[in-house]
Every structure is written in C-alpha cells, then in structure tokens.
Structure 1
Amino acid sequence: MTKFFILFSFLFMSIALKAQTTADINFEVSFTEPQAHYADVKMTINNINKNDLLVKMPVWAPGSYLVREFSKNVESFTANTSFEKITKNTWKLNTKGKKSVTVNYRVYCFEVSVRTSLVDNTHAFLSPTGIFLYVDGKLDQPSTVSIIPYNGWTKVSTGLEPVADKKFTYYAKNFDWLFDSPIEVGNQDVFGFDAVGVKYEVAMVGGGNYDKERLKTDMTNVIEKETAVFGENPNKHYLFIVHNYFSGGGGLEHLNSTVLGATRDGYQNEKIYKSFLGLVAHEHFHLWNVKRLRPIALGPFNYDQENYTTNLWIAEGFTAYYDNLITQRTKIISVDEYLNIIQADINAIDNSQGGKVQSLSDASFDAWIKYYRPNENSGNTTVSYYNKGSLIALMLDLAIIHKSGGKQSLDDAMRFAYNDFYKKKGRGYTDAEMKLVFENYVGENLNQFYADYINGTKSLDINKYLNYAGLKLVDRTAIAKQPYLGATISRTNKTEIATVSRNSSAWDSGLNVKDLVISINGVSTTDVLKDVANLDPNKVAEFLVGRDGNVIKLMVKFKPSTSKSMVIQEIENATEAQKAVMEKWLSL
C-alpha cells in the first residue's frame, strides 16, 4: 500500500466520520441545580427553511405502555424567537427569516424508576423521552447530545455513539435511537467484558456488594445462550445501567442498552442474586424480542399517543418465558427451581379471577389503561400478559418439540421470525403473521388454540403439554378447615378492607374496599383475618363496618375458596418420546 493511498484513506475516513456525527439538531444538557433535581437543556436547530416549527415532548416511553405526560415536568421554556404553546406537549416557534433557533428549558427530574429521569447531588439519570424535544416531522433526523457534568462528576454512560474529539458528546442517527438511549452521568462504577464478539459495559450506580468477576461470568453465560436462540447479536456494544437501591427491581429495555433496578446489598444473597440475573436475562432478551422482532404497531413510534397492539403477550410474555428458561440453561437455577417457577405461574393464572374476564389479546391492547393503572378491582378484571403469555410460550415450545420429534423448538420459530420480519422485511409482524409462524412449527392449525387461549378466556390445558415432557399436574389443594372471606386487608390497618375477590363471601355480602370492620358477631376486632379464622364456617357472621362515617351491618355467609394449588410431578414410566422432549426442552 502506497503512502499516498494510506493518507487518502485516512482523510476519507475522517470526512466520513465527521459527516456521520454532524447534525442540524443539537442538544446540550447541564445541571446548575442538581440538588433541586433539575436538568437544564439547550436545543439548537439549524438549516431551517420554514416559517414555523413545532417542537414536541413525547408523552410515553417505549417499553412502558402508559401515557406519562412528560411535558408536565418542563418549565422555564424560552427561545430566541417568538413562540406559543399550542398543546400539552407542543410549542410553535416562529422561524420566519431564520436559519437557526435556540430553545432553552428545564426539566424537573425526581421520580425513581427505570423509565423516568432522576437528578440529585450524586448523579443524573436521563430517560430521553422525558428530556429531549423533537421537531415535528423530523424524527428521522440525526442529532447530537453534549453533556456538561456537574462539578465532581467524571463519567457519562450511554449507548449513543461518541463523537470523535468532543468529550461527552454523542451522536444519534435518528430520534428513535436518541429516545432509546438512556444516559447516566456521575461517578458510576464502570466495568466491561466481551461476549459473542460484542463489547459489554456495566455501569453500577449507588454502590453495592456485587462481585464483578462473578457478574461477568454469569452475564456472559446469559448473553451466549440468548444469542444462540437467534443466531446473532446485532450490536457492536451494549450497556447495562444498574441502579442499586436499598430495595430495588424492575427494568426497561432499549436498542443497545437496558436500565435495571437492583437491591444494593442483595448480590451475596443467592435468591436475590438469581432474581437479578433473571432480570438481566429478561431485559437483554428484549434486544431481539420487541426491539427488533416486534409487533407492527411498535415502531416506527408515534410519541404523541398510545401505540396499540394485541401482541404484548408475545413481546413481554415470551420474554418472561425465556428469562427463566435461559437461567435454567445456564445452570443459574436448577431444573427443580425452574419447574417451581412454572408451577407458580400456573397457579397464579388458574386462580386469577381477572383471567376469566379478560383475554390475552385484550390485556395487551388495554395495557395503556389497565395494566399500568391498576386499582383495587384489577385482580377481578385483568390478567397478566407476562404470566399467561409465558405459559402460552411454554405450551407452544413443548408442542413444537413434541411434533418435531425433538428436532425443533420455539427457538427455531423465534429465529425464523427474527430473520423474516426484522432482517428480511424490515418491519414488525401482524397478529396473523405470527400465528402462521407458530402454525408452521407446531404443524397444525391454531384457530381453536387462539380462540380459546389468546382471544378467549378458557382455562389453559397445561397438563396436555406437560405430558409431552413426561410431567403432569397434581392437585394438592388442601381441604379448607377455616372460613374463607375472600378479602385482603390493608398493610397498615388490619381492620380495613383492601380488595374483595369476585364471587367470594365478602363479594356476595357487600363488603367494600375501604370498609373499616368494627366488630364480628358483636366482638370488636383489631385483626379481621385472624378473627375470621376462628369462626364457624357453617354459620352466618354479623359484621359491623364503618363506611363514610356510617355504621353498617352486613351478614356474611361463608362459601369455600375456589383457589387451587397445583404441583408439577414426573409421570411414572415416561416413554422414550417423553424423555426426548424433556431433554430437548431443558437442554439436559
């Protein structure tokens, strides 16, 4: 290679890098009053060729299906041109005769969660949908973000691409990437490792008793097993931001990063540690399932309103299935521990009153108004698309393994869908298209399956599918010797009704949430459930309750609980075919 060619190549690469990292929309974020929980944002828009521009704040964060109205935290909005606010999240800028405008605003950031921003005197976590405005009609435009850390803060962690020769400056190729790239600023403990050819970074915030080497090993194992499901890892680098609290949890997935909540001093507790790795497995699996293999409604996003889909039971439920399956494949949890998790899901869904009312497809569609906005009656009206969706994935997985004679599994169906919809067609899937994928791998028409279990509320026939693997469900429900009220009690007041279960004794008698039970059969009570346990279940009990300042007498006629306790057991003398399914399923 000649000296001239080397020089030419270097110049070409430099020009290409500069072109890639320049943008007409630029942000600068600083923190003049972090102790008061504020982020200060400056937005500069260049090369304007219109008389006016609309700038907007998203109303929700992808992955968390609730309109959160992020613009409620915006204040001190100013611009170097005239403007007016025209909707709850939209400002109209007068740009006539201007090639460039600058907007300044402050964002109040004081909500602890993986999906909302938090700024204090120790660090800043920026959840982008609640921080950055976008120009209406310009979501496909690139942008840059420059971070000015507060005094003493030395690190910035984000999945955005760094801009060469500009410290703490980052490039987003479009606003979907910007809004999907959380930013951590402060003095977080950062460590890294390589897995499946990808550079992984972990930013630990808030301290903790974690063992870095153990985490590297276990997280690598999870990453390798998940990558094997889809056959490739689509990222060059990936970031875990972990917020450690006295007691923490939850996670939110992003295109090449995730944010996790964890218990600061729980890493040496095996149960808590395994749960954390399950969370790692869940959110990391989303980099394929949801972020790339996705329902067609979930991208490109409309940041102004709800984005409806009936397929969250695949997006979230299948991910919930795989997070446990992956931790079992890596031997983080044992086979018995894994089966106990499935058993718990079965009992949760079987005993769900809401599951008799709401279908999986409806649970997905109505997540915006129901799942993320629970009330005291939610247990009677809704079903979890996480738990039930996970069981649907289990049923399909065992059916595919059984029908293929152990040659294929749900892994193959997910890999095919990923390659077909994301890589080949470059779009999301419809409900009908994903149904066809499952049918092709199960080898039969799933119309009745969908009618019963996805679009209907029929009880899941889990036993049929467990039998394929030489397992069975056994009813271990204890015979009730005590009266069953069918109500839960407030954590802070043992005489206050918190929830009432549909068709229970409490429901039929008219006990209401927030009722204060004064006495039972003329005897004052300070612990309702304890006193109910000592009653004769064959006799009607008299309850005096306080309701809105009035004393009301209610007669409670007890009826038996309908809750069941099912356990998974091995079938005696399992066939070779059943053993083969079990071996394929659990990678034995």
Structure 2
Amino acid sequence: MKLTNLRTLFFLTIFIMSTTISKAAANAQITYNVSFPEAQAHYADIEMHITSLQQNTLELKMPVWTPGSYLVREFAKNIESLTAEANGKPIAAPKINKNTWQIVTKGISSVTVKYRVYAFELSVRTSFIDASHGFLSTTGIFIYPANMLHSPAVIHIKPYKNWDKVSTSLDMVNNDPFTRLSPSFDILFDSPIEVGNQDVFGFDASGVHYEICMYGGGNYDKEKLKADIRKIVDQEAAVFGENPNKHYVFIVHNRQRNGGGLEHLSSTVLGASRDNYTNDKGYQSFLGLVAHEHFHLWNVKRLRPIVLGPFDYDNENYTTNLWIAEGFTEYYQGIIVRRTQLFPVQNYFDVLEGEFNVLENLPGKNVQTVAESSFDAWIKAYRPNENSNNTTISYYNKGAIIGMMLDLEIINDSKGKYSLDDAMKYMYTQYYKIKKRGYTDAEFKAAFEKFAGKKLDDFYARYINGLTPIDYNKYLGYAGYKVEDELADKNDAALGITTTTTAAKKIIVTSVQRGTAAYIDGINVNDEITAIDGTLVTDAATLINGKNPGDKIEVTVTRDGQAMTLPVTLLKSNRVKYNIVTVDSPTEQQMVVRKKWLSI
C-alpha cells in the first residue's frame, strides 16, 4: 500500500476512534455525592457514579491547576483511598500517572468510584474544610472522566452536622439547594462551592441577581455593601454594554487577616479581614478587590487570550497576555471605584502612586519585560524567592500602569471621544460574542490602534516587549498632571537589604537589592547581622543611623554558624516615592482628558 494511502487509513482510524469515544462520552451520566463525615479532620468524601458507559477503558483525571491561578499545584496529592466497584464488586483502578487512574470497563456499563480529599490549605484557590464550614475549590475536589469534559454532572451535597446552606453559581435541581447541576466540567471547575452557615444576602443589578455570602463574621454593614457593590456592578457592566449572567455569587471568607481573590465564570471568592469594613482604607481596599474580581467575569472569563480556554487541565497554559488579562483588571479596579464617586480623586491617586512606586523600586524592571512576566507566571510569579525582586516584575502591577497609559493615550488622541473602555467593549463583542474565541496579542494591539487612531509599534517595542523606563509625565501630562519624587532631594545612605527580627532578637537578612552597597560588598540572604563597626546591634531600624553615602563601615555577620566581618561602602538610597500633582495652568485639551479619565 502506498504511503499516502497508509496515512489516509491512519487518520481515518484515529477519526473513527475519536468519534466513537465522543459518542460514548456523550451517553454517559455522571453524579457525585459529597459528604463530610470527618469535617473536623478536614476531609470530604466523594462518591462518583458513572452510568451508561460504552467504552472498554475509562480514565479518571484530577486537574493539576485551577484557572485564574497560574501554578501547577498537583491537586491529586490530596486524594487518598480511591476505590472502584461495578455490579457490587470491587474492580481495579490503578494509578497510571500523577493525576490519572485507569479502569477496564469492557462489558461494564456503570462504575462507582469512592475517594477522600484532604482539604486544609487556606486560600481563595484551594479547598479548606473544618467543623465550621467547607469551601470546595472544585478543581481540587472532583475527578473527571477523560474525554468527557463536555458532559453534565449532578452534585449531591450532604452537609456536616448543622450546616444549612450551599452557596455556588451552579443551578439547583428541583429547587433543592443541596443538589446542583453543572452543564460541563469546564463550568464545574469554574464554580466553587461554599457549604456551612454563611450569612447570605443579595441585590439585583444590571438585570442580574447577586448573592453575597459571608463566612467568618465581621463588622460589615449589609445595606451599605449592597448599595456600594451595586454601583461597582453597574459601572463595570457599562464598560461592556451588558452583564452576561443571570446569577452571580460573591463568596467572602472573613478572617482576622485575609486578602486576595480568585475570579470565576459567574462567581468569585474573596479573602477579607473581618474588622476592616469600618476602616475607610480597609473598606476602599475591599471594594477594589470586589471591582477587580467582578471585572474578570468579562476580562479573562469571556474576553480572554486564545490559549486560556478550552483549558488543558494536565499542563501549563502559556500566554504573553496576562498583562491585559490581570494587569488591565487591576487598572480597572481602581478607576471603577473612582467612577462610583464613593471616594475623592486623591484616593484614586493614592492607588496609582502605589502602583508606580512598587514598579520603580524593583530592580527587576530592568530585567524582565511585561510579556515575559506573563509567560513565566507558571514558574516565577507564584514561586518567588529571595532574588525575585532583582529579576522579575508583576504583570498585575506593570500591566495596570500600561492600562493607564493606553487609556490616557486613547482619550488624548481621540480628543475625549474614546477611551480604553471602547477598546475593551470592541474586543469583547468581536471575539467573545461574534467569533466566539479568544484573542491573539496582535488582535488586541490592532484594537488599541483602532481607537488611538495610530500605530503603536513603538509603544509595544518600548513597554510590552522592551525595558524602556516609563515616561509617567508624558502620559499623565495628557490630563494635566505630573509626578514628583518626594525623595529626590534626600541624601540618605542605604545598605540595600530587608531584614526580619526573630523572637530571639536576631536580625536576619531576607533580601539584598541589586546594585546596592550590600549587593556589591557581599552581604548575603540569611546572614545574621550582629554588629556595625564593632558595636552590637539589636534594632534593624538603627543599623546605619547617622551614616552618610560614601561612609565605610564594617558589618559583622554570622553566616552558617561562623562570624565574619565585611567592609561595606554605603551608597545613596536609590528609592523613589512618586506623588501625582497637577501642572500649572492645565490647557483646555488637558481638562477634556482629565474629566473623561477621572469622571469629574
């Protein structure tokens, strides 16, 4: 047989096998029973039923990561005691790789699989169970059948003891709050579940019913929260021209100290400090977190980089566009809260100044581009070490600044007719609604250019794929503002280290900044600083009190149990602290941009 015919036969065979598997998968019915007989010990027991099987082999898989959190977390490490049975008898279910179990199902139409999940990692992206509640981050709870990601599944939840509520964006079955339907595993893995006695209240906004589910108590005012979050929802829906949900859920975990959030298709999980709601700064920070994660229901969950969906749950999903997906969302969290008029303009400038100062005080800004930061999220962003500040930046942080720059560029170049909002809405409409796919880097660049009315090749070369220092005054100048460095006239000496003080009063070096005195003269991370110029030190804040740039000092450290003295020449501190101030006599054009940008 000719090679071409062999190839034809090969691909035809693969097609027939694939089609057969797909048809078999389409017929299978999947249900889960979730119970918590040992919630106090942090366990969930899962019973999975698969019926109407029409295949010879069944592979069961556990995702290795969760969408929105770009790190392989190996959720299968928390699974124990997996067993399978068919027709009332045990059957083999060997593990064939780190996250896959295989069952021979020839002649078998139904399988029951039982396993336990240990859940004691306290974060918005991992499951946590104790006697007070169960938070199920679904990628780390539900094993799924390979080739059946599009299959629906019914989840029955048996609560622990006196738990009486389930909070999730998954729809109820027959109005039973403890039975939920997921149309597909992509939706199940994007729908966290809170089970317990959480405080649940809600409101309607933009044609959508919103639930706020509070675990852990707190000094929040329900009516104020409902009113203020409604304003955020309306402002964000206005950017895209619609709210694509019917029902949206905020799951909020209130603890003594907590933070962070993770977006989902029709819900989000937020970490908050329970006593911060009556503190103006804390409350504004919480509303910013709400605005950030809620904005993701458009930006990332629907308007997304082309590689971020359909997801590969076995491997990393690489993109250079997290500076848009996350960075722009961080930019919008501040500007959206500003648009609600809940806080004055200066409060927004405080947020922006914080972004500027974080980036400008990182030596990594001269090493890693924002596109590289996006791509390397999997190995760097979630795994920082003592040298990360010298070699990396955050796509959140620099992406937010780039969002501001492009917003001001578009407003200025269009003389107030357009803004970044128009580019975001255009991309959402074109790629999510019409083309029903994600975007490429080049396609989003073309959208920016469409509304700026010019090519942005130089902008991309400088700021996205390059390391050009940001010209804050150019972009802020469009709106009649500029930055001033309040440390510019200081002549403070600096070692260039950060330290921690142990319970035993030992001063331990935790990081050394590139290009500083400590970096050049050999102070290391994990050194214990014991003396300066022979004088014992017990307070890190006074290490170089009274010293000036150019002074030569002797730093005595203990390294790996051995004392050594290092000669160090102090250098001038290179830190900046930018403040945004208005220019003298802003022009009419600058005021047009200012009013459009800041909703004045």
Please tell me the TM-score bracket, short chain as reference. Answer: over 0.9
Deviation of the 1:531 alpha carbon: 2.8
**Distance in 2, Cα, partners of 1:344 & 1:167:** 43
Q: Does 1:439 align with 2:472?
A: no
Q: How does 1:291-330 map to 2 (within 5 A)?
A: 291-330=301-340
Which residue of the partner structure matches residue 5 of structure 1?
A: none
| Residue pair 1:38, 1:107 contacting (<8 A) in 2 also | yes
Which residue of the partner structure matches residue 287 of structure 2?
A: 277
Among 567, 586, 589, the alignment partner of 1:555 is: 567
**Distance in 1, Cα, partners of 2:240 & 2:501:** 44
Letter in 2 for 1:54: E
Deviation of the 1:477 alpha carbon: 1.9
Deviation of the 1:276 alpha carbon: 0.6
Q: How does 1:45-444 map to 2 (within 5 A)?
A: 45-80=50-85, 81-164=91-174, 166-444=176-454
1:466 is paired with a residue of what secondary structure? helix
Deviations 1:532-554 (A, max 9, x none): 12335433111121111222221
**Distance in 1, Cα, partners of 2:493 & 2:346:** 33
Unpaired stretches in structure 2, ≥5 consecutive residues: 1-26, 86-90
Among 29, 32, 36, the alignment partner of 1:27 is: 32
| Residue pair 1:23, 1:142 contacting (<8 A) in 2 also | no
Deviation of the 1:566 alpha carbon: 2.1
2:94 is paired with a residue of what secondary structure? strand
Structure in which a larger fraction of residues adopt strand = 2
**Distance in 2, Cα, partners of 1:576 & 1:153:** 61
**Distance in 2, Cα, partners of 1:85 & 1:55:** 9
Q: Give me the CA root mean square deviation.
A: 1.4
| Residue pair 1:474, 1:566 contacting (<8 A) in 2 also | yes
Q: Give the stretch that moved more between structures: 204-213 or 482-491.
A: 482-491
Letter in 2 for 1:66: L
1:287 is paired with a residue of what secondary structure? coil
Deviations 1:129-175 (A, max 9, x none): 00001111111111111101111111111100111155511111110
**Distance in 1, Cα, partners of 2:277 & 2:541:** 35
| Residue pair 2:431, 2:439 contacting (<8 A) in 1 also | yes
Which residue of the partner structure matches residue 486 of structure 1?
A: 496
Deviation of the 1:529 alpha carbon: 4.0
**Distance change >3 Å, CA 206–CA 528, structure 1 → 2:** closer
| Residue pair 1:494, 1:528 contacting (<8 A) in 2 also | no
**Distance change >3 Å, CA 456–CA 494, structure 1 → 2:** farther
Q: How does 1:438-477 map to 2 (within 5 A)?
A: 438-477=448-487
Which residue of the partner structure matches residue 19 of structure 2?
A: none
Which residue of the partner structure matches residue 36 of structure 1?
A: 41
Letter in 1 for 2:423: A
**Distance in 2, Cα, partners of 1:173 & 1:528:** 57
| Residue pair 1:23, 1:144 contacting (<8 A) in 2 also | no
Deviation of the 1:373 alpha carbon: 0.5
Deviations 1:294-326 (A, max 9, x none): 001110000001110000000000000000001
| Residue pair 1:71, 1:89 contacting (<8 A) in 2 also | yes
TM-score (structure 2 length as normaliser): 0.93
Deviations 1:368-406 (A, max 9, x none): 111100111111011011111011010110111111111
Unpaired stretches in structure 1, ≥5 consecutive residues: 1-21
| Residue pair 2:480, 2:591 contacting (<8 A) in 1 also | yes
**Distance in 1, Cα, partners of 2:273 & 2:534:** 46
**Distance change >3 Å, CA 491–CA 520, structure 1 → 2:** closer
| Residue pair 2:492, 2:572 contacting (<8 A) in 1 also | no
Deviation of the 1:473 alpha carbon: 1.7
1:168 is paired with a residue of what secondary structure? strand
Deviations 1:466-491 (A, max 9, x none): 11111112232244444210001114
Deviations 1:382-440 (A, max 9, x none): 10111110110101101111111111110000000000010001111011111111111
**Distance in 2, Cα, partners of 1:510 & 1:48:** 65
**Distance in 1, Cα, partners of 2:120 & 2:47:** 20
Give the % identical residues.
56
Among 509, 513, 528, the alignment partner of 1:516 is: 528
| Residue pair 1:177, 1:255 contacting (<8 A) in 2 also | yes
**Distance in 2, Cα, partners of 1:200 & 1:507:** 52
Letter in 2 for 1:549: G
Among 522, 527, 530, the alignment partner of 2:539 is: 527
Which residue of the partner structure matches residue 597 of structure 2?
A: 585
Which residue of the partner structure matches residue 544 of structure 1?
A: 556
1:117 is paired with a residue of what secondary structure? strand
**Distance in 2, Cα, partners of 1:512 & 1:572:** 47
Deviations 1:200-259 (A, max 9, x none): 111111111111110110010000000000000000010000111011111100000000
Deviation of the 1:558 alpha carbon: 1.1
**Distance in 1, Cα, partners of 2:81 & 2:501:** 41
| Residue pair 2:240, 2:428 contacting (<8 A) in 1 also | yes
| Residue pair 1:543, 1:555 contacting (<8 A) in 2 also | yes
Q: Give the stretch that moved more between structures: 535-544 or 230-239.
A: 535-544
Which residue of the partner structure matches residue 17 of structure 1?
A: none
Which residue of the partner structure matches residue 509 of structure 2?
A: 497
2:123 is paired with a residue of what secondary structure? coil
Number of residue pairs the alignment of both structures matches: 568
Letter in 2 for 1:83: A
Letter in 2 for 1:222: I
**Distance in 2, Cα, partners of 1:377 & 1:259:** 30
Letter in 2 for 1:245: R
**Distance in 2, Cα, partners of 1:392 & 1:167:** 44
TM-score (structure 1 length as normaliser): 0.95
**Distance in 1, Cα, partners of 2:223 & 2:270:** 19
Letter in 1 for 2:188: L
